[in-house]
Amino acid sequence: MDDSIAFIGGGNMARSLIGGLVARGVPAAAIHVAEPVEALREALAKDFGVSVFDHKLQAVVGTSTWVLAVKPQLMRPVCERLAPLAQASRPLVVSVAAGITTAQLERWLGGALPIVRTMPNTPALLGAGVTGLFANPRVDDEGRDRTQQLLSAAGATVWIDDESKMDAVTAVSGSGPAYVFLLAEAMQAAGEAEGLPPDAARTLALQTILGAGRMLVESDVDAAELRRRVTSPNGTTHAAITRFEGDGFRQLVARAVHAATVRGKELSDAND
C-alpha cells in the first residue's frame, strides 16, 4: 500500500479538497476519485490530472486513506460495499458526511478501523473554510497528522474531543454560511426598503460583511469588543443594536443553532 488517497464521491467538497491538495504539491497521480457522474469525473481529470473511476472499488485499491464524500443517506450502502476491501487493507477512513458517527461508519465497514469524522463548510471551495474533526480511538498520531494535512487544504481546522459535540459543529460552522447569506439577503432588502437602488444595497451589504469578517479574523480583538468600538452612545449603530437586542436576536440565534444541532442527531438516527 502507498500513500495514495481515494475520494469516494467527486462533488463540490471533494473537488475543493483535491484542488487544495494539488496546489500544495501532492502529486495528482496519488489521488484517485470514484464518481458515477461522467461530467464530474471528466472535469476532475481535466482540471487536476487526478485518476478517475466510475466504480468505487477500483478507486480504493492500493490506497492508504479513503475520503468518504457521499451524501449521508448513501453512506451505509457505500460502506457496506467497501467493507471487504476495508478489512483487507485497513485504511485511514475520513468522512465528510453530516450526522454520521464514527461508530456507524466502523460498523458498516466491518469494524476495527481508524476513522475520522469531519465537518467542513462550503467556504472550503475557496480555501477559506473551517472543519471540525473527531478521531476514534484507533486513529494514531500519524493518522491525525494525515487528516490535518488533508483538511487544512480547505482552511482552518478544529479538533473536537467529544463526538457528541460534532452536531454542534455542524450547526455553527457547517450550516453557518447560510446564516450569513440570510443576513446579507436581509440587509440588502432593508436597504432597498429605505430607498437604495438594488445594486447599491447589494454592494453595501456584501462588502460590509466581507470587511467585518476580515476584521474578526485578522484582529486580535474579540467580536464583543469590536462591536463596542463601533457602537457610539445614542448613535445610529446604537439604535440598530438596541433594536436587535430588544427583539431577542441572541435568543433567536441560539434557538436556530440548537435546531440545527438536533437535526444533525436526527440524521444520524435516520441513517442507522
- Domain locations in the chain? 5-166, 176-268
Stretch 188-193: mean pLDDT: 98
Percent of the chain at pLDDT > 70 equals 99
Q: pTM score > 0.85 for this model? A: yes
Stretch 31-38: mean pLDDT: 96
Count the Cβ atoms, other than its own, within 10 Å of residue 252: 11
Q: Is the pLDDT of residue 22 over 70?
A: yes
Same-fold call for 5-166 versus 176-268: no
d(CA 67, CA 20): 14
pLDDT value of residue 2:
55
| CATH 3.40.50.11890 is the classification of domain 5-166 | no
pLDDT value of residue 4:
92
| CATH 1.20.272.10 is the classification of domain 176-268 | no
